[in-house]
């Protein structure tokens, strides 16, 4: 669906350009791969590394809890026959409760990391779009398309603004 909208937009833009009078200003078209810019700009690299460090910390915490559950399960399997019914039932209930807590934490951590990833990426993409707009204005570009979403199948390399956008974005963030 997105590709269809992009194709319709490109055709519409082409129609407008081709219908323009001969005396009109030159049409300049460029494109940017925002996914590449996100992955290669310093803020994108830092955000990815920060998320990786946080994920490793959470993974360590989950691994510790998982080991505790494994030991509880081994204890249940080995000693359940010698325990009386009340002790066995209490231990099994405690194990089920801890297992459910572990599963909830696992899901919560995954959602938390995903939200942080989406939030940081959205912020960086918005800032990258601002840089694209600034560069397009300075260069007098008529249109700048996004390549990474799959709507742009071909364009000459000389109208690719991606590397310029990355450099300008990194320079802007250093200020």
Which pLDDT tens digit goes with each residue over 140-149?
Answer: 999 999 987 7
Q: Give the SS3 label for residue 145.
A: strand
Q: Sorting pLDDT into bands at 50, 70 and 90, what band is 11?
A: very low
Q: What band does 111 get if pLDDT is binned at 50, 70 and 90?
A: very high
| Spatial distance between the Cα atoms of 47 and 44, rounded to a whole number of angstroms | 5
Say if residue 10's pLDDT is above 60: no
Q: Is the pLDDT of residue 135 over 60?
A: yes
Domains and CATH numbers, the chain: 2-174 (3.30.910.20)
Residue 88 Cα distances to 52, 66, 79, 135, angstroms: 40, 21, 9, 70
pLDDT of residue 81: 85
C-alpha to C-alpha distance for 153 and 145, rounded to whole angstroms:
11
Classify burial at 27, counting beta carbons within 10 Å of its beta carbon; exposed 0-12, middle 13-18, buried 19 or more: middle
Pick the more confident residue, 170 or 7: 170
Answer whether residue 151 shows pLDDT above 80: no
| Tokens standing for residue 1 | 């669906």
Q: Between the CA of residue 157 and those of 26, 42, 51, 142, 168, what are the distances in Å?
A: 19, 23, 32, 17, 18
């Amino acid at each position: 669906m997105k590709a269809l909208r992009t194709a319709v937009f490109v055709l519409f833009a082409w129609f407008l350009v081709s219908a323009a009078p001969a005396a009109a200003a030159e049409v300049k078209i460029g494109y940017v791969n925002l996914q590449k810019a996100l992955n290669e700009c310093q803020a994108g690299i830092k955000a990815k590394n920060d998320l990786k460090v946080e994920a490793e910390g959470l993974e360590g915490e989950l691994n510790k809890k998982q080991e505790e559950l494994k030991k509880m399960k081994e204890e249940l399997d080995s000693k359940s026959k010698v325990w009386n019914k009340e002790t066995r039932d209490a231990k099994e209930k405690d194990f089920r409760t801890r297992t459910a807590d572990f599963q909830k934490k696992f899901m919560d951590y995954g959602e938390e990391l995903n939200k942080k990833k989406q939030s940081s990426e959205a912020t960086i993409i918005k800032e990258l779009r601002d840089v694209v707009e600034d560069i397009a204005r300075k260069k007098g570009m008529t249109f700048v398309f996004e390549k990474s979403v799959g709507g742009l199948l071909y364009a000459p390399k000389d109208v690719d603004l991606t590397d310029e956008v990355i450099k300008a974005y990194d320079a802007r963030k250093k200020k």
